[in-house]
Chains A and B, each alone.
Chain A
Amino acid sequence: AQSVTQLGSHVSVSEGALVLLRCNYSSSVPPYLFWYVQYPNQGLQLLLKYTTGATLVKGINGFEAEFKKSETSFHLTKPSAHMSDAAEYFCAVSTGGSYIPTFGRGTSLIVHP
């Protein structure tokens, strides 16, 4: 079985500040990990994913995430927040044997001017 926990349903940062959204997963086999972003009134779109290889993954819009097996984590970061980053962010985990990914409950990122 696989599961995802996103710590903090809301994260608030100032424009220009570091963004850190936390994701921890549970999986009995090597996981595939995803971050999706959902802007208001839109569907989810992929920010980045980890499958194999390099553990630091770069995505769109300046976001990156690092797979840390020892910590079972896949935290999402961005050095400098922009107002346009305000959205809902979802972490998801899948494995080679699972039919569908398991999504976390989402973290709402609020960016203050």
Chain B
Amino acid sequence: DTAVSQTPKYLVTQMGNDKSIKCEQNLGHDTMYWYKQDSKKFLKIMFSYNNKELIINETVPNRFSPKSPDKAHLNLHINSLELGDSAVYFCASSRQLGGNTEAFFGQGTRLTVV
């Protein structure tokens, strides 16, 4: 059983389209995250939810909207996709917010905007 699963694994789409990435964790964790990894492998936090509430919203364009229907799910919807959105997007979860708890990552979604 995959602890943090995200779908799809690969996503190729045209500029201007709207797309969603889904994430589910079966670890019973309270906190979930979305990270963006660029072509140089730099990891940047985008959002963090704790018990379905948005805690962290870094300087991410409004075209990105996270939604957490329950503690186990955190989806990412992206409107009007741009070339610069091409990256690998990782969902992660942790038992609690920050501190000494490690994060568990999904396998990533490689988004390519053409």
Interface residues of A (CB under 8 A from B): 32, 34, 36, 38, 41-46, 49, 51-52, 88, 90, 94-101, 103, 105-106, 108
Contact = CB atoms under 8 A, between A and B. Distances in A.
Contact of A101 (B98, B104, B105): B98
Contacts of A98: 98-99
A101 B42 contact: no
Contacts, number: 64
A90 B90 CA distance: 15
Interface residues of B, number: 23
Contact of B90 (A34, A43, A95, A100): A43
A44 B90 contact: yes
Interface of B: 4, 33, 40-43, 45, 48, 55-56, 90, 92, 97-100, 102-108
9 contacts: A41-B108, A43-B105, A44-B92, A94-B99, A95-B99, A100-B97, A101-B98, A106-B41, A106-B43
Given A49-B100, A94-B98, A94-B99, 13 more contacts: A41-B108, A42-B108, A43-B4, A43-B92, A43-B108, A44-B90, A44-B103, A46-B103, A95-B98, A96-B99, A99-B97, A103-B43, A105-B40
